[in-house]
């Protein structure tokens, strides 16, 4: 299972707090992926994770330029023991100028995911699985996904 799919599986769990989709660098602030780190050749990287536990101020304290969206459609009265409240970071890597069949870049797709995330139906496992499949398919058309081990997660206060 690729790292993005592994992270998105968490959407199927009910949480006491809303899920947040966190993307760094902020694709709204850096159009065209200009804030994304350059890798070999024309490749750039972005980072994404799901988080239902951290205060967003904690990300700012770690110096991350990020954007986020919240979704409370899976919000339950409490989360079950052992369910993840945050995922690992996922590295999204690709040519920043490469486009999907309908003309969108990785940065465009990330902005779209942030814009639409709050309305995704996450109220049951089947709906959440469909959201995960669709997100993976759209981004996977022009990007690859890798684990990230060197980005610190904020420590909740």
pLDDT digits (tens, 9 = 90+) for 35-61: 566 667 778 888 999 988 777 777 776
Per cent of the chain over pLDDT 90 is 33
The whole-number pLDDT of residue 135 equals: 95
Cα four-point dihedral sign 20, 25, 28, 31: negative
130 pLDDT above the threshold of 60? yes
- Is the whole model's pTM more than 0.85, yes or no? no
Max mean pLDDT range (18-22, 96-100, 132-136):
132-136
Cα 89 to Cα 156: distance, rounded to the nearest angstrom? 16
Q: What DSSP assignment string belongs to the chain? A: --HHHHHHGGGGS-BSS-EEEEEES-TTTSGGGTTSEE-STTEEEEEEEEESSS-HHHHHHTT---EEEEE-TTB-S-PPTT--SBPPPEEEEEETT---TTS--HHHHHHHHHHHGGGS--SSHHHHHHHHHHHHHHHHTT-EEEE--SSPPPPP-
112 pLDDT above the threshold of 80? yes
Q: Tell me whether residue 71 is exposed, middle or buried, using C-beta atoms within 10 angstroms of its C-beta: 0 to 12, 13 to 18, 19 or more.
A: buried
The whole-number pLDDT of residue 157 equals: 46
The whole-number pLDDT of residue 77 equals: 47
């Amino acid at each position: 299972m690729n790292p993005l799919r592994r992270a998105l599986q968490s959407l199927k769990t009910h949480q006491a707090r809303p899920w947040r989709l966190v993307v760094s660098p902020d694709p709204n602030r850096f159009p065209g992926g200009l804030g994304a780190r350059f890798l070999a050749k024309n490749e750039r990287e972005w980072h994404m994770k799901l988080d239902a536990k951290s205060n967003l101020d904690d990300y700012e304290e770690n110096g991350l330029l990020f954007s986020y969206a919240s979704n409370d459609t899976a919000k339950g009265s409490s989360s079950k023991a052992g369910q993840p409240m945050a995922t690992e970071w996922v590295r999204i890597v690709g040519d920043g100028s490469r486009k999907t069949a309908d003309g969108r870049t990785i940065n465009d797709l990330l902005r779209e995911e942030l814009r639409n995330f709050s309305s995704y139906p996450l109220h049951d496992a089947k709906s959440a699985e469909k959201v995960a499949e669709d997100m993976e398919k759209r981004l996977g058309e022009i990007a690859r996904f890798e684990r990230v081990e060197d980005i610190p997660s904020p420590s909740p206060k």
